[in-house]
Amino acid sequence: MAERDLRMRELADVVIVGGGVAGCAVAYYLSQAGVQATLLEREGIALQASGYAAGGLNPLQGLTPEMLPLAMTSFHLHRELWEALRQATGRDCQGRIISTVKIAFEPDEMSGWQDEAQVLNATPGFAAHWLDRTALRQLEPRLNPGVQQGLSLYGNGIVDSHLYTVLLAEAAHRAGATLRTGTVRGLQQSHGRVTGVLVDDGVLACGSVVLATGPWARDVEDWLGLSLPITPFKGEILRMVLDGPPIADDLSSADVHLFSRGAQVWCGSTEEPCGFDTTPSAAARRRLLNGAVRLLPAMANATLVQHTACLRPVASDWLPILGQAPGWDNVYLAMGAGKKGILLSPAMGKALTDLMTTGSTTLDITPCTPQRFTAVSA
């Protein structure tokens, strides 16, 4: 208890740099632990990738085996957060459990499906079952008649990513966190510690700092003398209105993913390294529309409402960077989760809060340690 009390005193005036989902999750869990923090964002909460993501929570898919325990823990934390955020803010982040139907036109598009089905059916709360062509057309009569086979996956989740991120920040603010706008120019340092964050109008003193800078991690390299090999990957999504009833489930083919979003269908998504270019591209629009129309021909007559493009932070090994910064007593990192940022955000926020308040965490963040990258300078 004495050690925790000492840590809590040392945590006075925590500054979190970055108002995306990672920074907001850290602010939320710190506030729940009684730590007063300042969330510092250059443009506004959830105005980058966190605000444009599809919001899928798929803890059993698209992850390396060593990341699965953390992903599943984070998934369960999401389920708790849906009600906690509603209680704290009076608003709903639109979290729910969904089904996704994977659809194949050719046998080679089904590679790995059998293993995927086995994993879901072996996991409590998840299930998978096969759908033949007749069952697929009964589920969604507007599907291309050429579809051959489907696999229905139940148990994944979805949130409104923008609203979810905003509610994390709002709940943190209601619990005592300060929300502040400003551009960070660097860090004030002394003897292996950061003593302040340099902003446009001066220095924001801090006892500790959390850097959740998303794709702008290269700035942090210069500030700390660390290697943080994160590349911005551009992701584009089309938000469309389809005549007739909404699609009942998310639909996924080798070419496109159609997300059911009430009155809208979101067609996503692309992923390519394009530097810091956030301009929606005609090439991506054509690629997504072609895939959507092939899967659901009625999409040819759908109305394009919005074409979004954002930058996802992807580390060189495609794993998040999470933990205490090597060589620094009071600097913590939360970045690089890429397409899994929304899913992993509760675990990232809770793990860092545990580390900062108690010195350890029960969450398995070993694959994410910043120490896996070599420091580039003293």
Alpha carbons 213 and 339: distance in angstroms, whole number: 15
User: What local confidence, expressed as pLDDT, does residue 119 receive?
Assistant: 97
114: CATH: 3.30.9.10
Query: Is 105 within 8 Å of 252 (Cβ atoms)?
Result: no
Other C-beta atoms within 10 Å of 42: how many? 17
pLDDT for res 168: 98
Based on the fold, state whether residues 202 and 244 are members of the same structural domain: no
Question: What token pair was written down for 357?
Answer: 């308040």
Same domain? For 192 and 250 the reply is no
Tokens read off for 371: 């120490």
Asked whether residue 377 is assigned to any structural domain, the reply reads no
Provide the pLDDT for residue 10: 53
Q: Are 42 and 54 in contact (CB under 8 A)?
A: no
Residue 278 pLDDT: 94
pLDDT by residue for the chain (378 residues), tens only, comes to 545 554 544 556 899 999 999 999 999 999 999 998 999 999 889 989 999 999 999 999 999 999 999 999 999 999 999 999 999 999 999 999 999 999 999 999 999 999 999 999 999 999 999 999 999 999 999 999 999 999 999 999 999 999 999 999 999 999 999 999 999 999 999 988 999 999 988 999 999 999 999 999 988 998 999 999 999 999 999 999 999 999 989 999 999 999 999 889 999 989 999 999 999 999 999 999 999 999 999 999 999 999 999 999 999 999 999 999 999 999 999 999 999 999 999 999 999 999 999 999 999 999 999 999 864 444
**DSSP H helical segments within the chain, as ranges?**
2-10, 21-32, 49-52, 68-89, 113-121, 133-139, 161-174, 217-224, 282-295, 341-358
- Does 378 fall in a domain? no
Contact 45, 179 (CB under 8 A): yes
Task: Specify the residue for token string 């029960």.
Answer: 362
Instruction: Name the token pair of 46.
Output: 């959830």
Query: Tokens 């949130």 correspond to what residue?
Result: 159
Residue range of the domain that includes 131: 98-155+231-314
Whether 185 and 283 map to the same domain: the answer is no
Q: Write down which residue in 314, 331, 360 finishes a domain.
A: 314
Owner of token pair 């509760």: 346
Of 314, 338, 354, which residue is a domain's last? 314
How far, in Å, CA of 152 to CA of 100, rounded? 6
Distance CA 114, CA 118 (A): 6
Global pTM? 0.94
Three-class secondary structure of residue 192 per DSSP: coil
**CATH value at residue 32:** 3.50.50.60
What the block records as the tokens of 18 is 């970055």
Distances (CA, A) of 105 to 30, 55, 148, 207, 230: 48, 26, 5, 57, 36
Radius of gyration of the chain (CA): 21
Flag whether 54 is in a domain.
yes
Same domain, 235 and 148: yes
Farthest-apart Cα atoms in the chain, separation: 69
pLDDT given at position 45: 93
The alpha carbon torsion through 291, 296, 299, 301 (nearest 10 deg) reads: 130
Tokens describing residue 107: 């046998």
What is the rounded distance in angstroms from the CA atom of residue 342 to the CA atom of residue 133? Answer: 33
Quote the crossing angle between the two packed helices 2-10 and 341-358, to the nearest 10°.
120
Domain boundary among 269, 292, 314: 314
Say how many domains are in the chain: 2
CA-wise closest residue to 50 among 155, 165, 150, 216 = 165
Handedness of CA 140, 53, 243, 292 (dihedral sign): negative
Residue 3's pLDDT is what? 52
